[in-house]
């Protein structure tokens, strides 16, 4: 057996508009597969390979839906006299009708099956079982190929139990699987189920599961580095402009706006990197509706959602403020019994808390050429790194859990408890790193490594830490 023939291949079959293309899109991580609520979107067979790092793991064949299964089954019964010749009757049917219009859909979906593909039969659990499905299932059973049935619930109805009872009479494995909303573990469980259909597929699909699990770990690790680089760049960013005399308020405001715009562009660039890492090349956003992910980085909502609470900000400000207070103790020979350290902490805390609106300071100085320059930035505000980190983690969680069958723009539900749950367990570690970045520089190698490690841990825990109300709303299910 050559390597190509040992690659598991599955034909995704069923009624039109029951979720076949969505299933293929999710399991192949391909967002370019056409998905529509209209019947007949898939007119011919299309093979979609699942590759990771160039290695082919399995193939999925998207097929047209059954159109004339009753007539096709009648033709087959007239030409078959016993169960032993049913597979041959199927081949005769395809050979005879493949160029005719009458059974074009049936011939196309049966072609990969008679060539050796496994069968994944998809039905809609939102509508009741009907007798017309018997003909489809009978035809598939006649092929003799290993098969599994998937119940996809597209609408609001719930006839899953009825479908399970019926499908179990025709298929050895029956699973409920929504390609629009299935999380990673659901997808892995489905692939593990595929591995039980045929002995020669077991090892290749178990290997595929292992590779996909490793890919998930590697994606989180790479995302952590992307987010770390974004934070490092944003914390170090400043903008300059040559001026002839004293800086005017207009020039200062212009530079502040320029700084904000460059920060937005850095954030967008790194978001795109994460989206592309997860194979979401054409993700759409509704800027005017996204007050968290794609809302303005400097909007009041962003500061409320991803900034520090008052208690958290006071604690973080105390780290920087205490250094100022220690100077008071030094000049009073400690007669304040280190009270100055506490006072400095409070002053630093209040400055941090009240400084939310003033993002960056402006200053003037001469450059090496003797030209006078106005400089704005970098941002020293204690809230700022938490805002950009919180947004980045929330964005990553949205992208990581988004299936490739979802085609609506990303949209998140606001939750005022995001900060409390997201940074509750490791606030002090982040505080120390951000404070040292402000003092030693955001490009410090060791600090960047430490920050990357912390972010990686946070990406792993974020889905469990955030409440269910912060999870992206489910989009409408489609084919």
Cβ neighbours for 179, distance < 8 A, ≥ 6 positions apart = 19, 22, 23, 25, 26, 27, 152, 403, 405
The confidence band for 285, taking pLDDT boundaries of 50, 70 and 90, is low
Cα atoms in the Cβ-side hemisphere of radius 13 Å centred on 81: 0
The C-alpha angle with vertex 445 and arms to 440 and 448, in degrees rounded to 5, equals 90
Q: Residues 272, 278, 281, 287: is their CA dihedral positive or negative?
A: negative
* Complete domains list, the chain, with CATH: 9-197 (3.40.50.300), 217-470 (no CATH)
Q: What is the average pLDDT across 331-354? A: 39
Query: Are the C-beta atoms of residues 356 and 380 closer than 8 Å to each other?
Result: no
| Per-residue pLDDT, 211 | 96
| pLDDT tens digit sequence for 19-45 | 888 999 999 999 888 776 555 555 689
| Per-residue pLDDT, 3 | 46
Which tokens is 199 given? 């002995």
Q: Provide the mean pLDDT of the chain.
A: 81
DSSP secondary structure string for all residues of 286-348: -TTT-SSSSS-TTSHHHHHHHS--HHHHHHHHHHHHHHHHHHHHHHTTTTTTTHHHHHHHHHH
Beta-bridge mates of residue 208: none
Give the C-alpha separation, 353 to 345, whole Å: 12
The confidence band for 474, taking pLDDT boundaries of 50, 70 and 90, is very low
| Per-residue pLDDT, 315 | 63
| Per-residue pLDDT, 215 | 96
Give percent above pLDDT 70 in the chain: 76
Give percent above pLDDT 90 in the chain: 48
| pLDDT tens digit sequence for 235-266 | 999 998 888 878 778 888 888 889 988 998 99
| pLDDT tens digit sequence for 411-446 | 655 454 566 677 778 888 999 999 999 888 888 899
**Coil vs helix vs strand at 52:** strand
């Amino acid at each position: 057996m050559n390597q190509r023939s040992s690659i598991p291949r599955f034909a995704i079959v069923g009624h039109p508009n029951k979720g076949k293309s969505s299933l293929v899109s999710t399991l192949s991580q391909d967002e370019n597969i056409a998905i529509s609520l209209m019947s007949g979107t898939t007119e011919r067979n299309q093979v979609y390979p699942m590759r990771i790092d160039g290695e082919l793991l399995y193939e999925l064949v998207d097929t047209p839906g059954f159109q004339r299964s009753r007539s096709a089954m009648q033709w087959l019964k007239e030409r078959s006299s016993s169960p032993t010749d049913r597979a041959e009757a199927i081949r005769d049917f395809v050979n005879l009708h493949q160029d005719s219009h009458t059974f074009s859909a049936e011939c196309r979906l049966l072609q990969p099956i008679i060539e050796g593909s496994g069968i994944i039969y998809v039905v809609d659990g939102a509508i009741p079982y009907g007798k017309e499905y018997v003909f489809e299932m009978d035809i598939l059973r006649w092929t003799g190929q290993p098969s599994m049935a998937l119940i996809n619930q597209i609408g609001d109805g719930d006839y899953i139990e009825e479908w399970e009872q019926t499908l179990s009479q025709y298929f050895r494995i029956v699973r409920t699987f929504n390609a629009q909303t299935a999380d990673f573990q659901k997808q892995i469980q489905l692939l593990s189920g595929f591995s039980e259909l045929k002995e020669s597929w077991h090892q290749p699909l178990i290997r595929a599961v292992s590779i996909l699990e490793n890919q998930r770990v590697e994606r989180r690790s790479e995302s952590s580095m992307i987010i770390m680089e974004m934070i490092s760049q944003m914390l170090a960013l400043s903008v300059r402009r040559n001026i002839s005399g004293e800086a005017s308020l207009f020039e200062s405001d212009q530079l502040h706006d320029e700084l904000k715009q460059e920060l937005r562009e850095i954030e967008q660039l790194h978001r795109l990197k994460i989206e592309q890492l997860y194979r979401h090349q054409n993700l759409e956003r509704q800027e005017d509706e996204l007050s968290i992910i794609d809302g303005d980085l400097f909007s009041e909502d962003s500061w409320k959602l991803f900034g520090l609470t008052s208690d958290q900000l006071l604690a973080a400000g105390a780290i920087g403020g205490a250094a100022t207070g220690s100077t008071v103790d030094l000049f009073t020979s400690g007669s304040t019994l280190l009270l100055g350290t506490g006072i400095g902490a409070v002053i630093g805390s209040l400055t941090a808390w009240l400084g939310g609106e003033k993002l960056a300071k402006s200053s003037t100085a001469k450059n090496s050429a003797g030209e006078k320059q106005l400089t704005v930035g970098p941002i020293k505000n204690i809230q700022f790194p938490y805002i950009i980190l919180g947004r980045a983690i929330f964005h990553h969680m949205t992208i990581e859990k988004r299936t490739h069958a979802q085609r609506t723009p990303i949209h998140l539900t606001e939750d005022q408890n995001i900060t409390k749950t997201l940074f509750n367990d490791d606030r002090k570690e982040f505080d120390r790193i951000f404070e040292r970045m402000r003092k030693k520089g955001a490009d410090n190698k060791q600090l960047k490594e430490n920050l990357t490690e912390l972010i990686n841990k946070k990406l792993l825990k974020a889905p469990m830490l955030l409440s269910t109300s912060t999870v992206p709303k489910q989009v409408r299910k489609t084919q």
